[in-house]
Amino acid sequence: MGSRLASITRLAFLGMGIAVSVIVSATAVLSMPALAVQEPEINQRILAQSQLVAQWLAAFALLGGAIAAITGIDQYRKQCKWRRREHARHLIEMMSRREAIQNIAAILDYEEYRTFEVRLSNGQILQFEATDERLKRALRSHAQMVKTRQGIKMLSQVSAQPGKMDEGTARILQRYRDEEFVIELTLRDWFDDFLGALESCNNSIEAGLVTAEDLKPFIFYWLQVISDRRFRRNGGSGFYDQFFHYIYWSDYKGVQKLFERYGYKILPPPYSTNDFDNIEKETPVYDAFRALCMAKAAHLVYEDEEYVHDIVSHWLSDNIDDVWKKQNPADYVVDTIKQWLRAEDRQKAFDIQDEFKYLVDRVTDTQAFMFRKDSHIVLIFRGSQQAADWKTNFKFRLREFAMYQPPKSGEIPTGKVHRGFQTAWEGVEKRVIIQLKKWWGKDTHFWVAGHSLGGALAALAATSLDYQGFRVSGLYTFGQPRVGDWKFTRQVNARMGDRMFRYVNNNDVVPLIPPQFNILNPTHMYGHMGQFRYFNVRGKLYKNSFFGQQWGDRLLGFILAIKQPGTDIVADHMMEFYVRNLQKALNEEKERQKSERQEKMEAAELFELEKAR
């Protein structure tokens, strides 16, 4: 390698040397006009030809030297690139030889029920499947694993005392301690090995040994499988969310940065048992909280049905977040063992069949879910994910707005709407109405939300259902495209515009489509409806913003995103950023109210002091 580099360098310098020597010779020839004055007998024509030849020689020498130099530099760059690629290949090759990484690759690569082996302390070989429930237990936080060890020790001491624990319970405890917990620790070690290898990849990039582009052919598939819902296996959403939590809990900052280099974000799941509590309250804090809850649900709808069911169960249960922190170690282990046994029997901890409905239309690929919590009914639509969803998006031609059960008064918006969106909504409209009739009461608060295509369906659903007698308390859309012409949007805004909230994140391109004017609908202009709320390039929420401010801020967003991986207009459309920005807005609103209360208290104290004087 060193001799190749030396020869390339010599080639570059040789070319430049030849060029310089020829240019010097040519300069000497070009000085001959002075001789022409001294020696008149020299033929002027020959002199002119000599000068021309010298000029051409100088030009060719410069060209040849430049080509030699460029060739040398190009060869040097290629050699550097080859060395980096070799280093990247060697790094990945060394990683792939490790058994733990091979096992995690098999788990991630759609083989969650493949059989693995672990050697127990007594030398016995135990075979097991890496089920999602088992993986989630293995990826608990460090504090939870410490509490598990403590709880097992405490319960083992109790079981060792005669008559303190019945034989069946003692056998279950022993089985969990000697087998299941060992499997969980083994899986945990494998994941630590895998994440440590990804940290090494990021360290190599930061050290300049390789570039992200050099590593991309070797690791990009695994980054997609972990980060991109389109590449995940069905039914694995709970495991992937727990995996994201684990990366944060264990402070794998290099792994997070590695994903960001390829345009992905590792964000921990946002769901809380407090979500959707008292969302009907009309205060600035609850306004922000309500929008955040709807955003979380619009984020959740992209996951598989089983995980949606689990999170809605979480919302509807009486549990509280991080309840394990308040338990003593023995009680925590008892709950963990109960979860393990339920998972083996495929049992659900909390049945929400009467409070939850998942909706799918196979023709249009429309997907939604709805649930009831106290006096609240929430309807959420999924956005574009499959090819059929994009077919729906591109059906720009307008058609008459219609509904399943038009009101007897005959009052109905007379404008036209996006043909694809209307057809997709009609695919589930009847089932939504049937479920609403089952759940509806005099004190019902009805909320509708969605992201992207889901936002468009939510807008049409809210309009249709409100006109059919199911009053909508609030519509929340995120990155929603236009759904109807100006005539339609004006009529809807007049009726319920104060209950519609349309959020847009900086350079999210989807709200700009379909274009207002379309050749397929030359006599109609597309428009938006509802109250516009805008997140700037820093994620700050503006409830009122003017046109010039938006476009200036969007230009700034484009400039700042030049060095970022991925496309700005696509990245800003991600639902994760809407959730993060709304959480930020909620925190700021809480801080503002806290400051106001503090100022009022200080003002009251000052008044009392002045009064006492």
Task: Please report, for the chain, the start and end positions of each structural domain, with discontinuous segments joined by +.
Answer: 2-96, 102-269, 354-582
pLDDT at 156 over 70: yes
- pLDDT for 391 equals 55
- Confidence at 2, pLDDT banded by 50, 70, 90: very low
Q: What class has domain 354-582?
A: alpha beta
Asked whether 324 and 360 are in contact (CB, 8 A), the reply is no
Q: What's the rounded Cα separation, in Å, for the pair 424 and 553?
A: 34
Helix (H) or strand (E) holding 190: helix 181-206
Q: What's the rounded Cα separation, in Å, for the pair 387 and 364?
A: 10
Assigned token pair, 527: 């428009």
As a dihedral over the C-alpha atoms of residue 302, residue 305, residue 308, residue 312, rounded to 10 degrees, the angle is: 140
pLDDT at 397 over 90: no
Q: What average pLDDT does range 159-184 have in this prediction? A: 92
Express as a percent the part of the chain with pLDDT over 90. 44
Q: What average pLDDT does range 363-386 have in this prediction? A: 90
Q: What's the rounded Cα separation, in Å, for the pair 39 and 235?
A: 97
Taking the whole predicted model, whether its pTM rises above 0.85 is answered as no
- Confidence at 5, pLDDT banded by 50, 70, 90: very low
HSE toward the beta carbon, residue 251, CA cutoff 13 A: 1
- pLDDT for 412 equals 87
pLDDT at 30 over 60: no
pLDDT at 232 over 90: no
Q: What's the rounded Cα separation, in Å, for the pair 148 and 133?
A: 16
Asked whether 478 and 488 are in contact (CB, 8 A), the reply is no
Asked whether 65 and 24 are in contact (CB, 8 A), the reply is no
Phi, psi of 111 (to 5 degrees): -125, 50
Residue 507, C-beta contacts closer than 8 angstroms, at least 6 positions apart: 554, 557, 558, 561, 568, 569, 572
pLDDT at 230 over 80: no
Type of residue numbered 588: E
Residue 182, C-beta contacts closer than 8 angstroms, at least 6 positions apart: 118, 120, 121, 126
pLDDT in tens, 48-87: 677 777 777 778 778 877 887 788 787 778 887 888 888 8
pLDDT in tens, 337-349: 998 998 766 655 5
Strand 398-400 and strand 376-381: the pairing is: unpaired
Q: Cβ of 583: how many Cβ atoms within 10 Å?
A: 17
- End-to-end, the C-alpha distance of the chain in Å comes to 89
Rg over CA atoms, the chain: 34
pLDDT in tens, 534-570: 999 888 998 876 666 677 776 776 676 666 665 656 7
Assigned token pair, 365: 């690929």
- pLDDT for 60 equals 79
- pLDDT for 112 equals 55
Q: What's the rounded Cα separation, in Å, for the pair 578 and 378?
A: 19
Q: What's the rounded Cα separation, in Å, for the pair 255 and 197?
A: 9
Phi, psi of 538 (to 5 degrees): -95, 5
pLDDT at 361 over 50: yes
Q: Is the peptide bond before 514 cis (omega within 30 degrees of 0)?
A: yes
Please tell me the least confidently modeled range out of 9-18, 143-152, 334-343, 428-437: 9-18
pLDDT in tens, 484-503: 999 999 999 999 999 999 99
Q: Cβ of 361: how many Cβ atoms within 10 Å?
A: 18
- pLDDT for 561 equals 65
- Residue 408, CA distances (Å) to 228, 272, 416, 466 in order: 47, 42, 21, 14
pLDDT at 90 over 60: yes
What one-character DSSP code corresponds to residue 376?
Answer: E
Helix (H) or strand (E) holding 533: strand 531-535
As a dihedral over the C-alpha atoms of residue 583, residue 589, residue 595, residue 598, rounded to 10 degrees, the angle is: -100
- pLDDT for 121 equals 79
pLDDT at 29 over 50: no
Task: Tell me the pLDDT of the chain averaged across its residues.
Answer: 84
Orientation angle between helical segments 44-96 and 2-30, nearest 10 degrees: 170
